[in-house]
Amino acid sequence: MVGKIVVSLVSLILLVGVIIGVVVVVHQNGNHKEDQSTKVQMKKVHEFCQAAEFKDSCAKSLESVAKNDTATINDYLMAAFQTTVEEVKKGLQEAGKTSVNKDSDPYNHMAIEDCKELLQRAVEELEDALSLVGETDTESLNEYTYDLLNWLSAVYSYQSICVDAIDKPELKTAIQNGVVNATQLTNNALNIVAKISDLFQSFNIQIPDNLINSSSDSNSPHRRLLEANKIDQDGYPTWFPVADRKLLAKSGKGNGKGQGGAAAGVAPLLPPIGPGPITPHAVVAKDGSGKFKTVTDAVRAYPPNHQGRYIIYVKAGVYNEQVLIDKKQINVFMYGDGAGKSIITCDKNVKIAKFTTSKTATVAVESEGFIARGITFRNTAGPEGEQAVALRINGDRAAVFDCSMEGFQDTLYYQSHRQFYRNCVISGTVDFIFGMGSAVIQNSEIIVRKCGPKQKNTITADGRELPSEITGLVLQNCRIVPDKELFPVRFTLQSYLSRPWKQLSTNVFIENEIGDFIRPEGYMIWDDHTFHQTCLVYEYANRGPGAATNLRSKLFKNFKVLSPQEATKYTVGEWLRGNEWLPGTNAPFYLGLGGK
C-alpha cells in the first residue's frame, strides 16, 4: 500500500513536471512570436520615419497604427497626417485663447485673427490630404506625390506666416509654442512624402511601371486637388467643367487645342477685352449701368453651391475698395476693360494704418481656380506705408494675365499654391514680388520704382523654408526696367534682383532682359540673417546690361548659372505642372524654354 502511494506520488510529480514544461515552452514560443512581431513593427516605424527630421515626433505619431501587423503605407501616412491635424487644432485653440485689445493694439489683434484663419485653413488642407490617401490604393500613391507636397507646402507656410505676423514678443512666443508640434509634424510629412519612392522600396512594395514618377493620366474618381489631370481631345484638363468649355469657346477662336503640348508654343491670345458674347453673372459699373456699383457687392453675390465659373465684368472706372474672394467662392473669373481702365485700389498698409501684411491687400483671393484679365490692382500707400499689397492670392491654380499690379513695398503676394502670371505689368520697390507659393511670371514687364531715401530696391523675396517644399518664384522672359522717376537716379539708388526672405528662398531668373540699373552683384543680404548662405538663386540665358553674372555676389553660396537641362525644371511645364490646368484658363502660355 505504501509502495502504491509512493508510485502515485512519483507519477503525479512527473505529470506536473511535464505540464509545467509544456506551459513554459508554449509561453516562450508565444513571447518569441510577440517579440518577432514587435521587431517587425519597430522596423516599419523606423523605415517610415527614416526621412523625417524629427524622428521621435514621427514615431510617436504612429502609436495608433504601429501595433497593427497588417498596416499599409496608407495607414502609416493617415496616422501621421491625423496626428498633424490634431496638433494644428491645438495651435488653433491656443490662438483662440489669446486675447488682444482691438483698440489699444489693432495690429496684433489683427495678427491673431490672421493666425486663426491660417490655422483653420491648414486643418482643412490636411484633411484633404488625409482623404486623398484614404481613398487611394497603395500602388497609386506615388502618382499623387506632387499633389500632397502642394498641400503640405501650403500648410507649412500657413504656420510660418501665422507666427511671423505677430509683433509682440510674448504673444509670438505663446503662439509659436502652440504650433511647434504641428510645425515639426508637417516638416516630417513633407520629407516623408518627398521620399515616398524610397519608402515603397523599404516596404517591399512594387510600383507598377505605368505609375513610376507619374503625376498625370489618372482616372481615379477620388482626386480632390486636381480632380483629374488628363488632357482631353479638345485640349482641356478633364476636371474642367463643361459649362466653362462652352464659355471659353464663346470668348475666343479655337478651343484650346495644342496649348498643353510641348511643341504647341504659345497658346492663342484671347479676343479683345470686353464682354463680347460672354454673359457675366455680375456687371460692376461706377455709373450705375451695371447691376453692382462695387466689386465687393458683385463678389458677395456669388451664389451658394455655385457650379462652373462665376464671371464678374468690371467696367472701366476707379473702384476704391478692398475686395476679398472667400475660399468657398471657387472658379471666379474677373475681367475688366483693360489694365489702366478698370482699376481696383486702396491704401491699406502696415506702417501707418497698422494692418497686417495679408490684410493690406487691395484684392485678396482665398479660393482656387481664380482667373483675372484686363484689370489694375493698385495700392497707393507709398513708400512711407511700407508693406502694402495690391494683390494677394492664396489659392491653387490661379492665372492672371493682361493685368497690372501697382504698389511700392510688397505689391504682389503669391502667398501659397500654384500661380501663373502672363503679359502683366508689376511695379514696386522693396520685395515687391514675394510669397511662399509656387509662381511663374512669364512675358511680363517688371518696373522698379523710386524707393524711399533709406530704402533699397529688391524685386523678389521668396519664403521657401524646407528642402521638400515645392515652392519658389520664377521670372521668365520678362523685361526688368526702371520707371521714369527712378531712371535719372538709377545708379545712385541701389536696386537688386532679389534678397532671401527665408533660409531656402528660391528665386530663378530665366531668359529675362535686365536693365543696367541692377547692381552687378545682383543679390542683397537679408539683414541680421545668414539666409544668403543657404538660399537658391539661379539664372539662365538672361540678356541686357544687367544680365552679366561674372560679378554676382560671392556671399550667395548657392548662386548658379543653370544649364538648359537644369533650367527646364523651373519652367511652367515642370514647376507648375502647367499642362494639367493652364489650358482650361484660356491664358496664353508656353511650357518650356525659349518661348515668346
State pLDDT tens for residues 272-302. 444 456 789 999 999 999 999 999 999 999 9
CB-CB contact of 460 with 473 (8 Å): yes
Q: Do 77 and 163 lie in a common domain?
A: yes
18 within some domain: no
What is the pLDDT, as a whole number, of residue 262? 26
β-bridge partners, 473 = 439, 507
536 within some domain: yes
Q: Do 531 and 425 lie in a common domain?
A: yes
Q: What is d(CA 58, CA 462) in angstroms, rounded to the nearest whole number? A: 28
What is the pLDDT, as a whole number, of residue 207? 63
What is the pLDDT, as a whole number, of residue 476? 98
Q: Do 498 and 366 lie in a common domain?
A: yes
What is the pLDDT, as a whole number, of residue 174? 93
CB-CB contact of 414 with 424 (8 Å): no
Looking at residue 457, the DSSP 8-state letter turns out to be E
549 within some domain: yes
What is the pLDDT, as a whole number, of residue 499? 97
Within 13 Å of residue 94, how many CA atoms lie on the same side as its CB?
A: 23
Domain count of the fold of the chain: 2
480-517 confidence digits (pLDDT tens): 999 999 999 999 999 999 999 999 999 999 999 999 99
**CA 354 vs CA 360, 406, 434, 453, 461: distances in Å:** 9, 20, 20, 22, 22
List the domain range (segments joined by +) for residue 165. Answer: 55-204
Contacts of residue 111, defined as CB under 8 A and 6 or more positions apart, other chains included, come to 100, 165, 166, 167, 171, 356
**CA 414 vs CA 278, 364, 389, 565: distances in Å:** 29, 10, 10, 26
351 within some domain: yes
Q: Which residues of the chain have pLDDT under 50?
A: 1-28, 30, 33, 210-275
Q: Do 358 and 473 lie in a common domain?
A: yes
- Helix axes of 106-134 and 145-165: crossing angle, nearest 10 degrees: 160
What is the pLDDT, as a whole number, of residue 258? 30
Residue 303: which CATH number? Answer: 2.160.20.10
210 within some domain: no
Q: Do 404 and 494 lie in a common domain?
A: yes
DSSP for 465-526, written as a single string? -STT---EEEEES-EEEE-TTTGGGTTTS-EEEE--SSTT-EEEEES-EE-TTB-TT-B-PP
Q: Do 365 and 477 lie in a common domain?
A: yes
273 within some domain: no
**CA 171 vs CA 98, 99, 109, 344, 469: distances in Å:** 8, 9, 10, 34, 27
Helices (H), 219-362: 242-251, 295-300
Q: Do 373 and 503 lie in a common domain?
A: yes
Task: Indicate the residue among 204, 238, 269 that finishes a domain.
Answer: 204
Neighbours of 170 (CB within 10 A): 9
Task: Indicate the residue among 167, 186, 204 that finishes a domain.
Answer: 204
Cell numbers for 530, please give them: 545668414
| Region for 236 from its dihedrals, namely left if φ exceeds 0, alpha if ψ lies in -120 to 50, beta otherwise | beta
Cell numbers for 82, please give them: 491625423
Residue 91: which CATH number? Answer: 1.20.140.40
Neighbours of 105 (CB within 10 A): 16
Q: What is d(CA 342, CA 336) in angstroms, rounded to the nearest whole number? A: 5
What is the pLDDT, as a whole number, of residue 209? 54
CB-CB contact of 194 with 468 (8 Å): yes
What is the pLDDT, as a whole number, of residue 553? 97
Q: Do 454 and 347 lie in a common domain?
A: yes
What is the pLDDT, as a whole number, of residue 248? 43
431 belongs to the catalytic site:
yes
Q: Do 296 and 200 lie in a common domain?
A: no
Q: Do 452 and 562 lie in a common domain?
A: yes
Q: What is d(CA 148, CA 313) in angstroms, rounded to the nearest whole number? A: 34
Q: Do 199 and 324 lie in a common domain?
A: no
DSSP for 415-453, written as a single string? -SSEEEEES-EEEESEEEEEESSEEEEES-EEEE----T
242 within some domain: no
Q: Do 359 and 483 lie in a common domain?
A: yes
409 within some domain: yes
The backbone torsions φ and ψ at residue 48, rounded to the nearest 5 degrees and listed phi first, read -65, -40
Q: What is d(CA 140, CA 145) in angstroms, rounded to the nearest whole number? A: 10
Task: Indicate the residue among 204, 219, 247 that finishes a domain.
Answer: 204
Q: What is d(CA 221, CA 5) in angstroms, rounded to the nearest whole number? A: 79
Q: What is d(CA 273, CA 210) in angstroms, rounded to the nearest whole number? A: 43
Name the active-site residue from 337, 410, 431, 462: 431
